[in-house]
């Protein structure tokens, strides 16, 4: 036995204290290095991911400017909250922030939350077992994402929107209910710079297989949910998955509960089989939040005429995106051509805008230049009343039908505690 006053024992204790001190210094150095990496790498990473490619844009005529300024503009999809950029300030990075939303005349922006981003994701085939890029690069986008589970990421993004709205001085308001939507319209009649925000989530895998987490997402403010994103999961087959199956029993249960709560279903990334099965079950209009149509750009990502007709038959809307996969081009006239196709095929009550801004895409105009799209629709021969529907009236109608009444819409402050465990992605098969 070694005595307490043994010189060897004292030296051992001193060495132990030194080791602990060195570990703490090492941890602090590692944290500082991480923070430095986030500060240095995050802006260039987003600048690379979310580009505006220079190119000719149509000159906006006085007619188009008046039409655009008088419209209530709704964009059904942007991933801007995934990034840690301060959206209250105008930036040269990315596509969306509050100043640019106001410049572009946007009345309501749907902010989407992707919670798993598979490495090597491919439009045709993406494995559900692929590495999640947010696990190792999430903190470069928004601090905390990389150390969180999919459910935690969804709640973190919802909290970021709450902070942004709270610090905006009333210029950004979160819409959770039909009453909120109507109050937003009244507020914009007094101050056209007021912008509404709706939360959407890409992929029910964020729920980590726990049905109770749907209520937690609703409590956090989410009002639009797509059952899949880029891979098949336990809820449904993805348009980009390996099996591309239909709805699972869990997916059917989730859809029924979504509709009961007042959450709209988004079919943007569903497989064709899952899309038809969801439309069979849907009791409220659905949204195709961002994408295109095969009639102008034929690929796995886009809606066939049959799907387009079924969305229209149910009273839903199709949000046309602004990037190459959606319209086989990024010019405003490419977007207008897809919009015109929807109108010619199923009528002007079912076309809408779904930019996919800040979603890792290249576009030819950011949200501050959105009036060029109004000009392009005029140039495509679309009548002014139809353009007003496309710019926002159609999306507002569907939101007003699908959102809950205020008594059913709990504020984010009543959300459940964040789950501590990390979720597992299960294949639908």
Task: Write phi, then psi, for 306 (nearest 5 degrees).
Answer: -65, -45
Out of 101-105, 314-318, 419-423, which region has the weakest mean confidence (pLDDT)?
419-423
Does the pLDDT of residue 175 top 50, yes or no? yes
Per-residue burial over 333-348, b if 16 or more Cβ lie within 10 Å, else e, is bbbbbbbbbbbebbeb
Distances (CA, A) of 20 to 31, 32, 159, 407: 16, 18, 36, 54
Does the pLDDT of residue 4 top 60, yes or no? no
Mean pLDDT over each residue of the chain, to the nearest integer: 87
Model confidence at 311, in pLDDT bands (50, 70, 90)? very high
Does the pLDDT of residue 39 top 50, yes or no? no
Mean pLDDT is highest, among 64-68, 189-193, 298-302, for 64-68
Interatomic CA distance for residues 298 and 337, integer angstroms: 14
Helix/strand/coil for 164: helix
SS3 content of the chain, % helix, strand, coil (to 5): 45, 15, 40
Does the pLDDT of residue 332 top 90, yes or no? yes
- Domains in the chain, start-ordered, CATH in brackets? 50-414 (3.20.20.140)
Does the pLDDT of residue 173 top 80, yes or no? yes
pLDDT tens, residue by residue, 194-253: 999 999 999 999 999 999 999 999 999 999 999 999 899 999 999 988 899 999 999 999
Task: Write phi, then psi, for 51 (nearest 5 degrees).
Answer: -105, 150
Helix/strand/coil for 196: strand
* Long-range contact set of residues 67-71: C-beta below 8 Å, sequence gap at least 24: 67/374, 67/378, 67/384, 67/387, 67/388, 68/105, 68/370, 68/371, 68/374, 68/391, 69/105, 69/192, 70/388, 71/105, 71/374, 71/387, 71/388, 71/391, 71/392, 71/393
| Rounded mean pLDDT, 55-73 | 96
Model confidence at 408, in pLDDT bands (50, 70, 90)? low
Interatomic CA distance for residues 230 and 240, integer angstroms: 5
Interatomic CA distance for residues 99 and 122, integer angstroms: 33
Ranges assigned E (strand) in 222-298: 222-226, 264-266, 287-291
Q: For position 412, what pLDDT does the model report? A: 42
Q: For position 299, what pLDDT does the model report? A: 94
Residue ranges in 223-304 assigned as alpha helix (H): 249-261, 272-281
């Amino acid at each position: 036995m070694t005595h307490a006053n043994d010189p060897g024992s004292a030296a051992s204790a001193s060495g132990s204290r030194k080791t602990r001190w060195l570990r703490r210094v090492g941890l602090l150095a590692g944290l500082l290095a991480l923070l430095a990496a986030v500060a240095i790498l995050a802006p260039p990473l987003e600048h690379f991911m979310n580009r505006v490619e220079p190119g000719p844009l149509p000159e906006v005529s006085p007619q188009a400017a008046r039409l655009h300024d008088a419209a209530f503009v709704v964009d059904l999809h942007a991933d801007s909250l995934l990034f840690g950029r301060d959206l209250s300030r105008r930036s040269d990075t990315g596509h969306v922030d509050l100043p640019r939303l106001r410049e572009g005349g946007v009345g309501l922006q749907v902010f989407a939350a992707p919670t798993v981003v598979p490495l090597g994701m491919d439009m045709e085939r993406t494995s559900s077992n692929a590495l999640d890029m947010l696990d190792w690069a999430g903190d470069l986008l928004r601090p905390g994402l990389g150390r969180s589970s999919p459910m935690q990421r969804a709640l973190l993004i919802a909290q970021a929107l709450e902070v942004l709205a709270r610090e905006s001085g009333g210029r950004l308001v979160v819409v959770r209910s039909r009453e909120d939507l109507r109050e937003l319209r009244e507020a914009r009649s007094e101050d056209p710079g007021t912008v509404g925000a709706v939360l959407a989530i890409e992929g029910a895998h964020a729920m980590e297989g726990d049905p109770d987490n749907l209520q937690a997402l609703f409590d956090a403010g989410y009002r639009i949910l797509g059952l899949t994103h880029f891979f098949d999961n336990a809820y449904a087959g993805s348009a980009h998955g390996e099996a591309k199956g239909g709805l699972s029993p869990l997916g059917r249960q989730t859809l029924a509960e979504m509709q009961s709560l007042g959450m709209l279903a988004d079919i943007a990334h569903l497989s064709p089989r899952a899309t038809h099965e969801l439309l069979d079950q849907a009791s409220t209009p659905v949204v195709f939040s961002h994408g295109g149509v095969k009639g102008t750009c034929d690929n796995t990502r886009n809606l066939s005429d049959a799907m387009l007709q079924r969305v229209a038959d149910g009273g839903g809307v199709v949000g046309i995106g602004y990037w190459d996969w959606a319209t086989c081009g990024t010019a405003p006239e490419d977007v207008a051509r897809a919009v015109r196709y929807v109108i010619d095929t199923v009528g002007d009550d079912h076309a809408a805008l779904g930019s996919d801004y800040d979603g890792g895409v290249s576009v030819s105009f950011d949200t501050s230049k959105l009036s060029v799209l109004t000009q392009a629709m005029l140039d495509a021969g679309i009548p002014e009343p139809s353009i007003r529907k496309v710019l926002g009236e159609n999306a507002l109608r569907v939101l007003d039908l699908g959102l809950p009444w205020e008594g059913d819409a709990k504020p984010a402050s009543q959300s459940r505690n964040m789950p501590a465990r990390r979720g597992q992605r299960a294949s639908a098969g």
